[in-house]
Chain A
């Protein structure tokens, strides 16, 4: 079914060109124009958040399993990786002298950079970060495999959601008490001294990888099986689809994404506190994917950035003395969105380069809820 021409990791030239352009734009034009705090809060953090939300969208948006456990796996990934880098971070270092390319004067005027530094990084630290990310992801995936397998076998719909909510609360409670077994996590006081290894490059790289993995999975026959489980479990079973297998696969893969994101988050602010992994925040990914549109990757990514930038921006934009109104305005906006656009910002419309190469015709149910989608499909 593949069109001939350039393909890398299953993606078209258009996809990779967009990715490269977005990366260069953010790296060279956006980042130098922001103070350090804002570029972490406005660019790097939403990238990380988008990875979690894509994972949850796979579980809930595409596979239809209502899960509130994403935040727990995020916490597992964050703490696992932080413990590894805390122990070895100071000892591992292998700086690589890259090359420095002087830029012509015109370019320097456009982009505030004296020179272009290429391949200028610490290979030891990068390797350590990758190992930490892998460890966080693997542990989150293993825990989710055990939990998902045992719980999914038995519970469906709301009760699965409640069980995963319980899981998130258990993880948070264990993180508060983690200093009994691992003293350097310092329990409720929060873990300090994690090396700040996450750079925009890593956050963006893992976001792109997450999108690529999801796209390749969803637009395959396995992907169609996953969506069919959401649409009608009994019919899917009747078609010979192993419903339990696909549910567990989605749950584990989504949790793996959460683990990766957790590892990146741990090394972003170089500080972890169990209160961040609490119940109130655990709804953030669910809120974001509903805002963006369930079962929609473009929507998830866009909604994550809108959500993070608006919440952070309100700190700055609100007049003096009204900063506390942030979380009063936010739920009102959420309510209005749910009232006037319950299908999310994007509905089911994917951006062009993220759309399926050959997606089967939309069902009547999908289009009737979303007249814009029908126009999009006809065009």
Chain B
């Protein structure tokens, strides 16, 4: 019986049937696109906008996983803190967009450094599951502590006086807003800056060395702890930017708002191959588009199930994600 099942599974995986089904889905999508090209273009545009926000958060997940092999579940809540920092900066202190963005980055980086020093650093040599449970604990702490009445309260807060005046144009029937351009511009700048930092500077080289082999990196005179802390701070700063952009797009904030976007971004990082920076970016754009397309064409309440099913299917075919290096992992 198991042998039979095994043969079935292997044959399904190798058979062209699966690819045929995938192709059929694409054809179906193309058909829907031809029926109403404007709507389709709108979904794609919205998906890219969402994808850029996810990308900023996913980069933090992917860098931290790449360097300490920890799924940092508190990252989604750092994203929430970024959103709140941006909210207080713009509505209470009437700052402009860029100063508020910098404020969100700085506060998130600061919070992440504290989290890393207090919670994760003492557990560096403990079993990995302890660090994971700690990450979940930190996530609970950030959510429920900021939901206390003297912090942010647990209510929904509308982010009303926006730092950017909303204007939109119709380009061949597709609604394009200035916010979308801001999101894409900020996202692209961050991505290129990060790429430059990681692949063209000495600091980036040190980060890659630590990710590759910690003891050897230490022998080469790299301050491993400092690099790890820096990675956390960098990821958190990007999450802070993501948080601000997210609430500019969806202007409603709450202390539990980080859970779902955090998860989707994590899924995006896994989808693109966790540990890979371009992978996280492409994964996030794909997840954003899949989400808007499935919400638009199939069902808006079932879109999460569709996104996660696609994740599982992709993992089955490419177990380390689209751009992940093969099997460097060790349990």
Chain A residues near B (Cβ < 8 Å): 64, 66, 149-151, 153-159, 162-163, 166-167, 169-170, 173-174, 176-177, 244-245, 248, 279-280, 283, 286-287, 290, 294, 324-328, 330-332, 334-335, 338-339, 342
From A151, A177, A330, contact of B302 by CB (8 A) = A177
Name the CB-closest residue of A to B134. A338
**Minimum C-beta distance from A235 to chain B (A):** 14
Q: Per-residue CB proximity of B129-142 to A under 8 Å, as 1/0? A: 11101101110110
A contact residues around B267 at 8 Å (CB): 162, 166
Give A339 to B299 CA distance when docked, in angstroms. 44
Out of B13, B127, B331, name the residue touching A342 (CB < 8 Å): B127
A334 touches B134 (CB 8 A): yes
Whether A173 and B312, one on each chain, are in contact in the complex, defined by CB atoms closer than 8 angstroms, is no
Question: Chain A contacts of B131 at CB under 8 A?
Answer: 338
Q: Give the distance in Å from the alpha carbon of A173 to the alpha carbon of B302 in the complex.
A: 6
Query: Contact between B315 and A159 (Cβ–Cβ < 8 Å)?
Result: yes
Q: Please give me the 9 A-B residue pairs with the lowest Cβ-Cβ distance, nearest first.
A: A327-B144, A331-B137, A173-B305, A331-B141, A166-B308, A334-B137, A157-B331, A331-B140, A342-B130
- A167–B267 alpha-carbon span in the complex (Å): 12
Known pairs A173-B301, A342-B127 / 18 extra A-B pairs, C-beta < 8 Å = A149-B9, A153-B6, A155-B315, A155-B319, A157-B331, A159-B270, A162-B270, A166-B267, A169-B263, A170-B312, A280-B140, A286-B136, A294-B129, A324-B144, A326-B144, A335-B141, A338-B131, A338-B137
For this complex, into which size category does the number of interface residues on chain B fall?
A: 35 or more
Contact between B305 and A338 (Cβ–Cβ < 8 Å)?
A: no
Known: A154-B319, A156-B331, A173-B304. A290 touches B130 (CB 8 A): yes
Nearest Cβ distance between residue B189 and chain A, in whole angstroms? 30
Residue from A167, A331, A339 in contact with B312 in the complex, judged by beta carbons closer than 8 Å:
A167
The dominant DSSP class at the A interface is helix
B2 & A339 in contact (Cβ 8 Å cutoff) = no
* Chain A residue at smallest Cβ distance from B304: A173
Known: A157-B331, A328-B145, A331-B138. A338 touches B133 (CB 8 A): yes
Given contacts A167-B312, A169-B263, A177-B301, contact A335 B6 (CB under 8 A): no
Cβ of B123 and Cβ of A342 under 8 Å apart?
yes
Interchain CB contact under 8 A, B312 and A158: no
Q: Nearest Cβ distance between residue A361 and chain B, in whole angstroms?
A: 22
Per DSSP, chain B at the interface is helix
Cβ contacts under 8 Å, B11 to chain A: none
Is there contact, CB below 8 Å, between B315 and A163? yes
**B90-131 toward A: CB 8 Å interface, digit per residue (1/0)?**
000000000000000000000000000001001100110111
**A-contact 0/1 string along B50-74, CB 8 Å cutoff:** 0000000000000000000101000
- Residues 120-175 of B at the A interface (beta carbon under 8 Å): 122-123, 126-127, 129-131, 133-134, 136-138, 140-141, 143-145, 147-149, 154
Interface CB pairs A-B, < 8 A, 15: A151-B316, A155-B316, A159-B270, A166-B312, A169-B308, A170-B305, A170-B312, A177-B299, A177-B302, A279-B259, A290-B129, A294-B129, A324-B147, A330-B137, A331-B144
- Alpha-carbon distance A170/B316, docked complex (angstroms): 16
Of all chain A residues, the one with the shortest Cβ separation from B263 is A279
Least CB separation from A230: chain B residue: B331
Instruction: Check A287 against B136 for contact (C-beta < 8 Å).
Output: yes
Tell me how far the C-beta of A232 lies from the nearest C-beta in chain B, rounded to whole angstroms. 10
Chain B stretch 238-281: residues in CB contact (< 8 A) with chain A: 259, 263, 267, 270
**What residues on B are CB-neighbors of A162 within 8 Å?**
71, 267, 270, 311, 315
Most buried by A among B2, B126, B136, B311: B136
| CA A66 to CA B6, docked complex, whole Å | 22
Residues of A within 8 A of B329 (CB): 157-159
Question: Which residues of B lie under 8 Å from residue A335 when comparing CB positions?
Answer: 119, 134, 137-138, 141
